[in-house]
Amino acid sequence: MISFRQHVVSLVAVFLALAVGVVLGGGPLSDLGRDDQPAAATTRQQDEVRQTASYGDAFATAAAGRLYANGLDGKAVSILVLPGADADTVSALGAEVESAGGTVAGTYDAHPTLTDPSEKSLVDTLGSQLAQQLGSGAVSQDASTYVRIGQLVGLAVSGDELPGSDAASVRQSLDGADVLTSPQGAPRAPAVLVVLGRSTDPAILAGLVSGLADKATGVVVAGDTTSATGSGDLAGLRGEPSAAQAATVDGVDTPLGRVTATLALIRSFTVQGGSFGASGSDGAVPLT
């Protein structure tokens, strides 16, 4: 029997598909061969596109509570904010986590040093030193620079693999090297939501996400609408096999995208990976 949640999620997917279809049918492609199209008709089509997108967002917002079904009840999520991420989007995603019954254990701000290719030497040295301090087993011995630092960030913000004192020491070292700012006294959480910002080198992003996924129960990487198109960060990440353990969601600059990201977080506690959103290869929204 199809559950209410599956039924509503399917409807969300239909509305998302309709919105994309209207954009294509009422946008630039609709003008081919119709140069004499009246300006009034064009304006009407643009209004229809806006109405359709607005309706999809309104539907997702209204149905969110039933879709979530308190799926994050008793669960905590750490939010890792990459440089350039929109503060309002980060805040809105945190509110969705709470709407699903979860808690935001802490919001961690990554500094440009972490993702700047010119700082690779610093990141490599820091990662090597911390790996030696923690001893064998904490970090993969053969890990590359950014997979290793991703694992270290994962140990600092997620899971319980390290004693609390060691995790605190890693946080202090990352902060001291101007790599990551951690909230004071924040507990670690099994799931990590990564919010993308300005463009990041694809290899660096894939390494970070892969390392995080090695240490967290679930990782969801969320980007805005443009991140999944062309040379956007999500588009590049989705093409990297090394990051397949993390789920990706585009469109989190919209209510529909943020609901989808929260559903992906709920799913991440039992199923890892997946590509969701308007450009997701696994569908608009995670069904299970």
pLDDT band (50, 70, 90) for residue 60: confident
Residue 283 lies in a domain: no
Answer with the one of 12, 37, 65 that is the final residue of a domain: 65
Q: What is the mean pLDDT of residues 137-143?
A: 90
- Asked whether the beta carbons of 276 and 286 are under 8 A apart, the reply is yes
Same structural domain for residues 93 and 47?
A: no
Q: What is the mean pLDDT of the chain?
A: 87
Answer with the one of 65, 88, 103 that is the final residue of a domain: 65
Enumerate residues 6+ apart whose C-beta is below 8 A from 249: 220, 221, 222, 223, 257, 260, 261, 264, 276, 277, 280
Number of domains in the chain: 2
The residue segments making up the domain with residue 45 are 4-65
Other CB atoms within 10 A of residue 34 CB: 10
Q: What is the mean pLDDT of residues 242-251?
A: 95
Alpha helices in the chain (DSSP H): 4-26, 39-68, 87-99, 112-115, 120-134, 145-157, 164-176, 202-215, 233-238, 255-268
Question: Which residues are paired to 158 by β-bridges?
Answer: 189
Same structural domain for residues 90 and 205?
A: yes
Same structural domain for residues 198 and 153?
A: yes
Q: What is the mean pLDDT of residues 278-287?
A: 90
Lowest mean pLDDT among 69-73, 146-150, 208-212, 240-244: 240-244
Q: What is the mean pLDDT of residues 243-251?
A: 96
Same structural domain for residues 98 and 195?
A: yes
Same structural domain for residues 222 and 197?
A: yes
Same structural domain for residues 134 and 96?
A: yes
Residue 116 lies in a domain: yes
Same structural domain for residues 105 and 47?
A: no
Residue 286 lies in a domain: no
Q: What is residue 198's DSSP assignment?
A: S
Same structural domain for residues 187 and 254?
A: yes
Answer with the one of 43, 65, 87 that is the final residue of a domain: 65
Same structural domain for residues 114 and 58?
A: no
Residue 27 lies in a domain: yes
Q: CA angle, 141 as apex, 137 and 143 as ends, to 5°?
A: 120
**What local confidence, expressed as pLDDT, does residue 44 receive?**
66
To 10 degrees, the CA torsion angle through 273, 278, 279, 285? 20
Asked whether the predicted pLDDT for residue 213 surpasses 80, the reply is yes
Same structural domain for residues 78 and 25?
A: no
Residue 174 lies in a domain: yes
Same structural domain for residues 150 and 232?
A: yes
pLDDT band (50, 70, 90) for residue 56: confident
Residue 269 lies in a domain: yes
DSSP structure string for 247-280? EEE--TTSHHHHHHHHHHHHHHTT----EESTT-
- pLDDT tens-digit map of 164-190: 999 999 999 999 999 999 999 999 999
**What local confidence, expressed as pLDDT, does residue 18 receive?**
46
pLDDT band (50, 70, 90) for residue 141: confident
CATH code of the domain in which 120 resides: 3.40.50
What backbone phi and psi angles, to 5 degrees, belong to 73? -60, 125
Other CB atoms within 10 A of residue 18 CB: 14
**What local confidence, expressed as pLDDT, does residue 255 receive?**
95
Same structural domain for residues 244 and 221?
A: yes
pLDDT band (50, 70, 90) for residue 1: very low
Residue 236 lies in a domain: yes
- pLDDT tens-digit map of 14-53: 545 544 443 334 444 444 444 555 555 567 666 565 666 6
Residue 163 lies in a domain: yes
**What local confidence, expressed as pLDDT, does residue 28 receive?**
44
- pLDDT tens-digit map of 80-118: 999 999 999 999 999 999 999 999 999 999 999 999 999
Residue with tokens 């304006």: 43
